[in-house]
Chains A and B, each alone.
Chain A
């Protein structure tokens, strides 16, 4: 980061240079997208020129945002540069678009740019000609999606925010339904669109509450509005509902497991890795920036919802048999963890403990950054697997490590990272989150400080389940024997795909080994939002968030030790075994007739979880009878919340629509009578 800073500070023109450059970069995205329409049918043109260009623009955005964050927050505050603002000559009369770049938006732009660069590079090699939308159209929607996410993050008034938010929802809808000839995909897209709009309405209402009677919709006016605790709580709840619907917080999560498998893999990666983060950004913007105080009740609610989402997501991920659905549920789990961190931060902040609040917020931010890397990586890897095998079902995959070594190795990095193993990045944020749980007994509320520590136990359970899920994912897809004969012909990813995957894997390793990098970026945010930041460690390669003598972690030392142990073991084995490599059949437990069908399956792997957490699921099981000559075992798992919440709502809407339909009797005289009576009633009203 200091390097970025050195490069950029020399070229930045004036105090608002970063914001200007970002506008140009976003404009470049839009231009690239439009350029795709020049030759919409040409895959070579779109894939080989436009997507790599888009990746370069992403890198530019990441570099600009990183440079902005790298300037020490205190220096910036002193120079009056805590935020760069600008009013665009666009929008409605009296309602122009405002832009603002501060530490929070800088952090999320960094995330967007870094992960976006990897995804765009992968996408350049991924899209094939075939059914579905034309490549040029996909390119347009793709870059529009990226640009609208950047605008959501930069928006400084409710109007631009909502415009960008809706553009984001619509462009991603069209990306999800690019294979619109398949009915399930249309259905998934519809569900996504409905949930996106329920969320958008809630966000709109939230802004309506926050303007606090001033009828000014710039964020500056909302910051200075003074709300009563009641209305502030209403605004916070609306924000939680609206942004939660986008982030996939239970119980608004239903669209995620439908839409992510339906979308092409780079789009799933963008939605899960990047779009969910814009919702996190929205919650943070509203609760820590726009509202001028926080109540501990908000924190407790967010914490409870976050923990529940995380458990829910982890358990459901464990029983999935479709690899993209599994990852979608895993996204719900990770979003739950991020919300847990946000909840703790609100709780600490409302209790007057800024340092611990900064710690919890750091955990949430770093986890958001980590999730952008490893979840994008895993979704992209499923795309490569999908392309070479045409299979999404875990039950028909297996043994791909031999035919797709590149993808297998890079996916392994992502899998280990998401399972939270040191020295990779997932461990850092989960460790930070656990650290912040350890300080909850100091909260001055009698019952809270007794109940919340049990959350730490729940967190431990979630992390263990997440690891279990990832063992299942990696083990079933890449290890063992191929379950279908066609899998032996699977081909590895092409070099553009490898480059994209490699970039994301590098991010996972780099943040894990040198967590100080991510902590520096998030410290800029916490010091601008909370006025406190976590401590650096005593050495450049360690982190010690609260105090050096309490707890510290060094990814680098872990990394060195692991590499050393593995290297020494390898050498020792080579020495002792005289370097001879023997290839013989594996020991078959005395039973030489095993086939690949006898391996543990995805269903089998999930069975213990299904058994233990049976209360969470609605299960329909078909067991074969002993005398059946062609036995079939089938299990269908459904979300209980779908039946408990969504079906009644759908039925109520249908019922209401039927009632309204009665009004349409078909007789002209009746219609005329309606207007006549309306007229009379209005006249009586005047009288």
Chain B
């Protein structure tokens, strides 16, 4: 009982850390920092999955944790760092909405997410049920980041962070997704990053910049 309580407390701590990292991603403008923050998110996910796996005694969750470590903490950040160096896109330009306003909007979203998760978490029986609101908040905050940034690379990071939120929601509401689905999503994310990487080079070749406002001319007149 004590052990279980301790694990629940630890999970809450990790969830809080995840939320903090999301906010910190919202406020950062340097792309490399963003990637590091993404890697930190990954490691928190890894730790929390390990904890849940230990508590529930599920073998599959261990695999899932290993996958998280490999993909989200090591592989993707490395790929993204390399991409940025080759593209020379260390700085994002001024965001569409300035950062304090974004932070305030983010606060509103977190409150909304908690309100939304409250009735659901009453239904859940797992030890991680309190973290559902945070998972939702992470998803919404990452989405917000995608909207407010102009560079293609930051949008991809926002997309990946959103996937982190979804993953966290899955582990917190139920004990993770079936292994097949999880593998599928992991593969999707990896392939997605590769394809987007190719797109980055194409966009830069066309417009000499990764700024997305160049794409505005691609509409029907």
Q: Which positions in A face B, CB cutoff 8 Å? A: 661, 664-669, 672-673, 675-676, 679-680, 683, 686-687
Q: Are A676 and B116 in contact (CB under 8 A)?
A: no
Among B143, B148, B150, the one with the most A-chain Cβ atoms within 10 Å of its Cβ is B143
Tell me whether B198 is interfacial, beta carbon within 8 Å: no
Tell me whether B213 is interfacial, beta carbon within 8 Å: yes
Tell me whether B219 is interfacial, beta carbon within 8 Å: yes
- Contact residue among A665, A676, A687 (Cβ-Cβ distance under 8 Å from B115): A687
Q: Are A666 and B96 in contact (CB under 8 A)?
A: no
Q: Are B220 and A679 in contact (CB under 8 A)?
A: no
- Contact residue among B140, B148, B216, B220 (Cβ-Cβ distance under 8 Å from A667): B216
List the count of A-B residue pairs having beta carbons below 8 Å apart: 40
- Contact residue among B147, B213, B215, B217 (Cβ-Cβ distance under 8 Å from A672): B147
- Contact residue among B116, B144, B218 (Cβ-Cβ distance under 8 Å from A666): B218
Closest B residue, CB atoms, query A687: B116
B147 — which chain A residues lie within 8 A by C-beta? 669, 672-673, 676
Interface residues of B in 131-180 (CB under 8 A from A): 140, 143-144, 146-148, 150, 155
Q: Are A683 and B212 in contact (CB under 8 A)?
A: no
B218 — which chain A residues lie within 8 A by C-beta? 666
Closest A residue, CB atoms, query B146: A672
B115 — which chain A residues lie within 8 A by C-beta? 687
How many Å lie between the Cα of A429 and that of B104 in the bound state? 81
- Contact residue among A667, A668, A676, A686 (Cβ-Cβ distance under 8 Å from B143): A676
Q: Which positions in B face A, CB cutoff 8 Å? A: 96, 112, 115-116, 119, 140, 143-144, 146-148, 150, 155, 212-213, 215-220
Q: Are B213 and A667 in contact (CB under 8 A)?
A: yes
How many Å lie between the Cα of A680 and that of B147 in the bound state? 14
How many Å lie between the Cα of A679 and that of B166 in the bound state? 14
A687 — which chain B residues lie within 8 A by C-beta? 115-116, 119
A680 — which chain B residues lie within 8 A by C-beta? 112, 140
How many Å lie between the Cα of A329 and that of B155 in the bound state? 61
How many Å lie between the Cα of A668 and that of B112 in the bound state? 25
B144 — which chain A residues lie within 8 A by C-beta? 676
How many Å lie between the Cα of A187 and that of B144 in the bound state? 47
Q: Across chains A and B, which 7 residue pairs bring their CB atoms closest together, nearest first?
A: A666-B219, A666-B216, A672-B147, A668-B212, A676-B143, A669-B147, A664-B219
**29 A-B pairs (CB sep. < 8 Å):** A664-B219, A665-B216, A665-B219, A666-B215, A666-B216, A666-B217, A666-B219, A667-B212, A667-B213, A667-B216, A668-B155, A668-B212, A669-B147, A669-B148, A669-B150, A672-B143, A672-B146, A673-B147, A676-B140, A676-B143, A676-B144, A676-B147, A679-B140, A680-B112, A680-B140, A683-B112, A683-B116, A687-B115, A687-B116
B97 to chain A, nearest CB (A): 9
How many Å lie between the Cα of A488 and that of B160 in the bound state? 81
B92 to chain A, nearest CB (A): 13
A664 — which chain B residues lie within 8 A by C-beta? 219-220
A673 — which chain B residues lie within 8 A by C-beta? 147
Closest B residue, CB atoms, query A674: B147
Closest B residue, CB atoms, query A670: B147
Q: Are A679 and B216 in contact (CB under 8 A)?
A: no
How many Å lie between the Cα of A235 and that of B140 in the bound state? 48
Q: Are A668 and B215 in contact (CB under 8 A)?
A: yes
A683 to chain B, nearest CB (A): 6
How many Å lie between the Cα of A482 and that of B212 in the bound state? 70
B106 to chain A, nearest CB (A): 13
How many Å lie between the Cα of A683 and that of B212 in the bound state? 29
Q: Are A669 and B96 in contact (CB under 8 A)?
A: yes
B189 to chain A, nearest CB (A): 18
A667 — which chain B residues lie within 8 A by C-beta? 212-213, 216
A178 to chain B, nearest CB (A): 32
B143 — which chain A residues lie within 8 A by C-beta? 672, 675-676, 679
Other than A665-B219, A666-B215, give 8 A-B pairs with Cβ distance below 8 A.
Answer: A664-B219, A667-B212, A667-B213, A668-B212, A669-B147, A672-B146, A675-B143, A680-B112
How many Å lie between the Cα of A665 and that of B96 in the bound state? 15
Among A661, A664, A683, the one with the most B-chain Cβ atoms within 10 Å of its Cβ is A683
Closest B residue, CB atoms, query A683: B116
A661 — which chain B residues lie within 8 A by C-beta? 220
A668 — which chain B residues lie within 8 A by C-beta? 155, 212, 215
Closest B residue, CB atoms, query A664: B219
How many Å lie between the Cα of A661 and that of B220 in the bound state? 8
Closest B residue, CB atoms, query A676: B143
How many Å lie between the Cα of A687 and that of B220 in the bound state? 37
How many Å lie between the Cα of A672 and that of B144 in the bound state? 9
Closest A residue, CB atoms, query B143: A676
How many Å lie between the Cα of A669 and that of B213 in the bound state? 9
A392 to chain B, nearest CB (A): 39
B119 — which chain A residues lie within 8 A by C-beta? 687
B119 to chain A, nearest CB (A): 8
Among A661, A679, A687, the one with the most B-chain Cβ atoms within 10 Å of its Cβ is A687
B202 to chain A, nearest CB (A): 15
Among B143, B147, B217, the one with the most A-chain Cβ atoms within 10 Å of its Cβ is B147
Closest A residue, CB atoms, query B97: A669
B149 to chain A, nearest CB (A): 8
B83 to chain A, nearest CB (A): 19
B32 to chain A, nearest CB (A): 22
A665 to chain B, nearest CB (A): 7
B112 — which chain A residues lie within 8 A by C-beta? 680, 683
B212 — which chain A residues lie within 8 A by C-beta? 667-669
How many Å lie between the Cα of A661 and that of B219 in the bound state? 9
A686 — which chain B residues lie within 8 A by C-beta? 116
Closest A residue, CB atoms, query B159: A672
B111 to chain A, nearest CB (A): 12
A588 to chain B, nearest CB (A): 66
Closest A residue, CB atoms, query B144: A676
B213 — which chain A residues lie within 8 A by C-beta? 667
B140 — which chain A residues lie within 8 A by C-beta? 676, 679-680
How many Å lie between the Cα of A668 and that of B151 in the bound state? 10
Closest A residue, CB atoms, query B212: A668
How many Å lie between the Cα of A668 and that of B155 in the bound state? 10
How many Å lie between the Cα of A101 and that of B25 in the bound state? 72
How many Å lie between the Cα of A687 and that of B114 in the bound state? 11
B145 to chain A, nearest CB (A): 10
Closest B residue, CB atoms, query A679: B143
How many Å lie between the Cα of A667 and that of B219 in the bound state? 9
B150 — which chain A residues lie within 8 A by C-beta? 669
Closest A residue, CB atoms, query B217: A666
How many Å lie between the Cα of A687 and that of B113 in the bound state? 10
